[in-house]
Structure 1
Amino acid sequence: MSTQALTLGPAGTYSHRAARAVADDEEITFTESVTTIIESVADGEYGRGVVPVENSIEGSVTESLDALADHDVAVVREVITPIRHALIAQGEEFSTVASHAQALAQCRSYLEEQYPEVELEAVASTARGVQRAHDDPAVAAIGHPANAEEDDSLVVLAEDIQDRSSNATRFLVVAPETERTEAGSKTSFIVYPNVDYPGLLLELLEPFADRDINLTRVESRPSGERLGDYVFHIDIAAGLYEQRTKDALAVIEEIAADGWVRRLGSYDSETVV
């Protein structure tokens, strides 16, 4: 099995910055598909994968959630990356701003106020936008200010242009399922009840409330089996090693007896700037 970490690329993305928390640059490989990252870890091709799952402004990354439901991997770490968007270009005259669609959305108010006439171009990543700005003086990019520091042809025209200063993205570090652990302050799991009746969601949540376990995220995604059928992604502020968590999950497994419950694992969280 490779010891390398696989994440979204190219180099210079926020995913790259998150991946640096778990691997050195020479050990990081890039792809442009979240599904490929999780598949490659599940298949044993890579020892670690780093995938975005949630942004504080734009919400969940649904491709990540769906891939986690489709492949058996372990979550071994959480990395929070504050998003610091800068406007980067060769000069002050440009007609297009290129970046990832989420970055454009996260800077919507700034762009509408300061550059209402420019064309917005969605590209595969913030780093792709920076490359566009490097290649074309008529294009500006939105990305981390460090991207300009690493390119002599680019300058930072404005920093911290995101609409909300609290903007941050949550990444999960995935590993082969054999590395799943019960140790950690947070736990992620997925529930597919394969049933539908009034009060089902309440029944899924009550076992945690009854045991004073805080739910940090609950999200439903279509199962793909039939219309109105859902898979539930649940994060809690407790470890699998805790008896209260074991007791709550025992109740959940009874409710989902016709479906399945996948424990992604327990882990700790860190923030990287």
Structure 2
Amino acid sequence: MKAITLGPEGTYSHRAARAIAEEVTFAESVTDIVEAVAEGRVERGVVPIENSIEGSVTESLDALATHDVAVVQEIVTPIRHALLAQREDFEVVASHAQALAQCRSYLEENYPHVAREAVASTARGVEQAREDPSVAGIGHPDNAGDGLRVLAENIQDRTSNATRFVVVAPEHEREEAGGKTSLVVYPNTNYPGLLLRLLEPFAERDINLTRVESRPSGERLGDYVFHVDVAAGLYEERTQEAIDAVEGIVEDGWVRRLGSYDTRHVLY
């Protein structure tokens, strides 16, 4: 199986993708990954969806709401950040914005006067550090070598740092079996108590909500799309009943069933 994920080689996304695919290619953005799957140019995409420190990856949420794809698996992996550089004195720390945020306390305490530069991925920052002695990167310690040294390990603000990735497939491969289901709900309206009405059908059927998040729809100011994860499969009658009730509430909008799936924990 072939998969596409955030590149270049050595990103945490790459490590997650290797758990489900023998051949991995790379893209510069999550949107490019989801588009490639939606258009049938690749079998699977692996995108980060949520980090335990910094929360959701908004580009991933927006891409899933925009393109007709399915979510067929969840991969959870611990994140071990290391500071990588050619030498101990450097002027810039370059990494993905999420990695910089996850290591904020360490950087502020140890390198308060060093500039921070957000780049497309952790691996891209490591590449810059390998090419330029004035730059340090943040990434997995295995990315050291070829002139790069590990100056410090486990520099993330919390030792429990972990990232949740989802495996994206073409829409026709959507599955109903699994312990978890992801939905995207667009009400196309707004009034007091709307969110409560949308969530009540799940509570009434004893379905646990594991995540609820809103994102701007892009249609107009104050108009939102809701991303909902529930701890139940689409194969369950209670889940179908709850979704049917939600569809009745948002009759001027829509509900997208991204699919049901199970979670795989991958350690590195």
Residue identity matched to 1:4: K
The aligned counterpart of 1:153 is 147
State the shift of 1:216 in Å: 0.6
1:193 aligns to what? 187
Deviations for 1:56-93, whole angstroms, at most 9, x for unmatched residues?
11111111111111111010000112111001112222
Matched, 1:214 2:208: yes
Match of 1:239 among 233, 237, 243: 233
**Paired residues, what number?**
267
The aligned amino acid for 2:249 is I
**What is the DSSP-based 3-state SS (H/G/I as helix, E as strand, rest coil) of the residue aligned with 1:121?**
strand
Question: Which of these residues, 91, 106, 109, is aligned with residue 105 of structure 2?
Answer: 109
Amino acid at match of 2:191: Y
Aligned to 1:14: 12
Spell out, residue by residue over 1:107-133, the C-alpha distance to the aligned partner (whole angstroms, 9 max, x if none). Answer: 111111112222222221111111111
In the alignment, structure 1 segments of 5+ residues that lack a partner are none
Q: State the SS of the aligned residue for 1:204.
A: helix
How many angstroms apart in 1 are the aligned matches of 2:190 and 2:117? 42
**In the alignment, what sits opposite 1:266?**
260
Matched with 2:44 is: 48
Of 68, 71, 77, 1:72 maps to: 68
Name which of 151, 161, 185 aligns with 1:167.
161
| Identity level (%) | 75
- Tell me by how many angstroms 1:266 deviates: 0.1
* 1:49 maps to amino acid: G
In structure 1, distance between residues paired with 2:192 and 2:110? 49
Deviations 1:93-148 (A, max 9, x none): 22221111111111111111112222222221111111111112222111111111
In 1, are the aligned partners of 2:130 and 2:146 still within 8 Å (CA)? no
Q: Secondary structure at the match of 2:40?
A: coil
The match for 2:53 among 47, 52, 57 is 57
Using the size of structure 1 for normalisation, the TM-score is 0.95
1:138 aligns with 2:131: no
1:90 is matched with which residue?
86
Q: How many Å apart are 1:164 and its aligned residue? A: 0.9
Whole-Å Cα distance in 2 between the matches of residues 92 and 224 of structure 1?
45
TM-score by length of 2: 0.97
The equivalent of 2:121 in structure 1 is 125
CA deviation string 1:172-207 (max 9, x = no partner): 100001110100000001111112221110000111
2:250 is aligned with 1:252: no
**Unmatched tracts of structure 2, length 5 or more:** none
Letter in 2 for 1:153: G
- Cα deviation for residue 229 of structure 1 reads 1.3
Q: d(CA) in 1 for partners of 2:26 and 2:82?
A: 23
Distance between the aligned counterparts of 1:195 and 1:90, measured in 2? Answer: 54
